[in-house]
Chain A
Amino acid sequence: MTRGPTWFNITSLVAGFSFLYLPILLLVIYSFNESRLVTVWGGFSTKWYASLLQNDQLLDAAWVTLRVAFASATLATIIGTIAALVLVRSGRFVGRSLFSGMIFAPLVMPEVILGLSLLLLFVAMDYSRGFWTVMLAHTTFASCYVAVVVQSRLVGFDKSIEEAAEDLGCPPVKTFFLITLPIILPGVIAGWMLAFTLSLDDLVIASFTTGPGATTLPMKIYSQVRLGVTPEINAVCTILVVLVTMGVIAASIATKRQQVQKERDERAAFGAEG
């Protein structure tokens, strides 16, 4: 029995999504505003995107952000994948459940605390803050997200596939790169994209851990907004929204494919005669 959507359902849906996306939509619309005043519509124009290209400060900040995101996502993917492998594979060892719980902790830890503690650490180490400290700080929390994503892929992994490779004469390390990694690759890629997106839009932790010469884009935008919103900011935010949306879509496609692949593997392992 099927029912059409009731008026109540449609209204809730529209209200809910408006609540979520109307502000972003407004931001995108006003980025094409001719007028210099952010709140007054003065006709369609792309001139703020053009002037953005002249704004070296913003471009520098964007370049720093991209470098930080790329480096921290890559490092976090390596660390997170190793952590996931150990937690899923190594069987029981003392403190296993403590460790797997601690993997999740930074996911729920307030960013302010994470940022402050990292700042204190870098100060205590007497390490000059800048690009590297931001990158390390982002790696720290992103590796937890990667570990969680990769772990879900590894749980359904048939261990005998690796045993088969070793049985056929392949040493364990080579087995990891030839067999295990290709099979869990969708999860690893999804983890990388998640880490990249998280680093791209982080403000709090970056503000705590950065130093001179390493201002990220979210920090730059935040500091400019305090002096008054310009349509240029709207333009740069629109570009960010597009980037992040693309990242999320790509990650969800990878996850979806991973799911399909996983089902296929399960059918491959326990398949009925067809």
Chain B
Amino acid sequence: MAKKSIGPVRRAYSPWDDPEKAPFIEFRNVTKKFGDFTAVNNLSLKIYEREFFALLGGSGCGKTTLMRMLAGFETPTSGQIFLDGQDLAGIPPFKRPSNMMFQSYALFPHMSVEKNIAFGLKQDKLPASEVDARVAEMLRLTKLEQFAKRRPHQLSGGQRQRVALARSLAKRPKVLLLDEPLGALDRKLREETQFELMNIQEELKMTFLIVTHDQEEAMTVADRIAVMDKGELVQVATPAEIYEAPNSKFVADFIGDINLIEANVIEKSDDGTRLRSVADNFSIDSDQVTDAAVGDRVWYAIRPEKVRIAQGRREKGVPNRIDGVVWDIAYLGDMSIIHSKVGDDDGDTLRATFANVSRMVENPITWDDEVVMSFDRDAGVILKG
């Protein structure tokens, strides 16, 4: 698929576009088998310095195994892992320059907050004054000053999460590994903490590798996301690319909400492709040049917010105009998701979002309304298979 700009990049930092740049972490043909089960299958991945990188996937996709191999808790069946130019093979976890924040936080229950944070520094035999200074800095960074003397069981879930973060940051590791770090927090606290994590990462200029099954979390915090499935990488790209230009039906379906329309290629030219829905009698005009041949079965994927929707049969002369009947409405407050049936019961159902910009609408779109939907030629993507 041709690469094109899709919206502003969140930060101007994009070392992955520079082919000269040496990767900071590299997985080279890594395979991990547990008995007959292949958790990670011949995977190669490059992560760059100061990147906030997310491994995203459902449970059992191999993302945690990949991270645990980097930390040294699992040994690859084959393949190599490099960190800052060093081959990590044979190096035990306690000698690796990475630190990990565990999903269960794994705080030492018999030590106070400050002792927990100081633990790693003491293993390095740093002088006491420096340990104290570093602990104080971490307490400030994670806003835990007043809890320094408390034991983990005297803290709330959110505070424990911050202790775990402070403890793993205290040694200023070359890379911080975060294993589902926010899973146990409630939604509001999770969102706050996501922004805190991003700020800390920018302040300390460290490389962060996060494992998560929460696509919203990955999109929020990460510079780049690797979507994993069955031990393999499906797509590695920026959040915007993953969302707007998924490279497969799996990624399109996994990230966010999307309409998937089964269609046949009926016409190809240098400036676009024309498709016809399999179930219904409408055609789609796309500016995408696909390598699928005329007559091939493809999927047309389009996000609900890219679909314009209006009542009646008024709009004329627009490309990609599809008539439908409102079948269901999900009112979410900030917007409504309108499900419309095109054709009969076996036909496509298209979802369109409708931003509720006015508080009260005189004649809102409602059930069984005849509506017309339309979208631009570059609004969706053509996916094979």
Residues of A within 8 A of B (CB): 158, 160-161, 163-172, 179, 182-183, 261, 264-265, 267-274
Contact = CB atoms under 8 A, between A and B. Distances in A.
Nearest to A168: B120
Q: Helix, strand, loop or mixed for chain A's interface? A: helix
A271 B157 contact: yes
A173 B4 CA distance: 54
> For A158, A164, A170, A172, which residue has the most chain B Cβ atoms within 10 angstroms?
A164
Contacts of A271: 153, 156-157, 160, 184
B184 A270 contact: yes
Contact of B110 (A164, A183, A267, A274): A183
Contacts of A267: 153
Contact of A169 (B123, B152, B153, B186): B123
Interface in B241-273: none
Given A161-B106, A183-B110, A265-B109, A273 B185 contact: yes
27 contacts: A160-B103, A160-B104, A163-B93, A163-B100, A164-B102, A164-B107, A165-B108, A165-B119, A166-B92, A167-B98, A167-B99, A168-B119, A168-B120, A169-B120, A170-B123, A171-B92, A172-B94, A183-B110, A261-B109, A265-B109, A265-B153, A268-B107, A270-B104, A271-B156, A271-B160, A272-B157, A273-B189
B138 to A, nearest CB: 13
Contacts of A261: 109
Contacts, number: 91
Interface of B: 71-73, 92-96, 98-100, 102-110, 119-120, 123-124, 152-153, 156-158, 160, 167-168, 171, 184-186, 189
Nearest to A263: B153
Contacts of B156: 271, 273-274
B94 A166 contact: yes
Contacts of A168: 94, 99, 119-120, 123, 167-168, 171
> For A167, A169, A270, A274, which residue has the most chain B Cβ atoms within 10 angstroms?
A167
Contacts of B119: 165, 168, 170
Contacts of A265: 109, 153
B104 A269 contact: yes
Contact of A160 (B94, B99, B102, B189): B102
Contacts of A273: 156-158, 185-186, 189
Given A166-B93, A167-B99, A268 B123 contact: no
A269 B184 CA distance: 10
